[in-house]
Amino acid sequence: MDKIEMMRAMVDTGVVAIVRLDSSESLTRVADAIAEGGVRFIEFTMTTPGALEVLGKVSERFGDDVIFGAGTVLDAESARAAILAGARFVVAPNLNPDVITLCNRYSVPSMPGVLTPTEIMQAWDLGADFVKVFPCSAFGPDYIEAVLAPLPHVKLAPVGGVDLSNVAEYIRAGAACVGVGSSLVNNKLIASGDWAGLTERARGFIAGVQEGRS
């Protein structure tokens, strides 16, 4: 799957799961469960101990069935290491031009994190493929709709505070996709091995995306 196909699939799916787990075994179980529910894109955060090793194992295991990206990538060195380990897209909480340049060099989608319209356009002008609006919890879907009114060409991905109650609203407001953490990949469900519960949550988010687009 090349970069354009991957970006199209990410928009079609509409949900990127944000995961922090300390082993490839745990991540494999979670990936199996949420992929069954329709969520095929997982951002694995680089703040996790041994993240690169875990990322390499799961990327090799799943191939194109589940697409793993690296999250919390703060600099170009980390971006390159993650890509070489198997990351297929790169997400950051901040805007670092060097990370976007590095990702474009390797034809890997980038998703830097910003908040204001000025920052959003800076990221887009630098060549970001998606622009992560973070933290979105303080502003909600109305903010996404307001920003897209003058900037309809930008692919926005709200992150922070997205849950089952509002995912349809974010999509309806114009979000290209959303990033979802604990409201999807719930630690209690993981600890109890409730993989069917994770699958059900994933289905709920996919249904919310479809509702927002209908």
Helix residue ranges per DSSP H, the chain: 3-13, 24-36, 51-62, 76-85, 97-105, 117-125, 141-148, 167-172, 187-191, 195-213
What does the pLDDT read at residue 49?
86
- Whether the CB-CB separation of 172 and 189 falls below 8 Å is answered with no
Q: Which residues does the annotation mark as catalytic?
A: 43, 132
Count of domains forming the chain: 1
Q: What is the pLDDT of residue 24?
A: 83
CA distances from 146 to 9, 58, 135, 155, 165 (A): 25, 38, 16, 14, 20
Q: What does the pLDDT read at residue 54? A: 93
What confidence score (pLDDT) does residue 206 get?
Answer: 98
Domain that holds residue 23: 3-213
Structural tokens at position 18: 């944000």
Query: For the chain, which residues score pLDDT lower than 50?
Result: none
CATH of the domain at 147: 3.20.20.70
What is residue 14's predicted lDDT score, i.e. its pLDDT? 98
pLDDT for residue 203: 98
What pLDDT does residue 35 have? 97
What does pTM read for this prediction?
Answer: 0.96
| Residue 155: per-residue pLDDT | 98
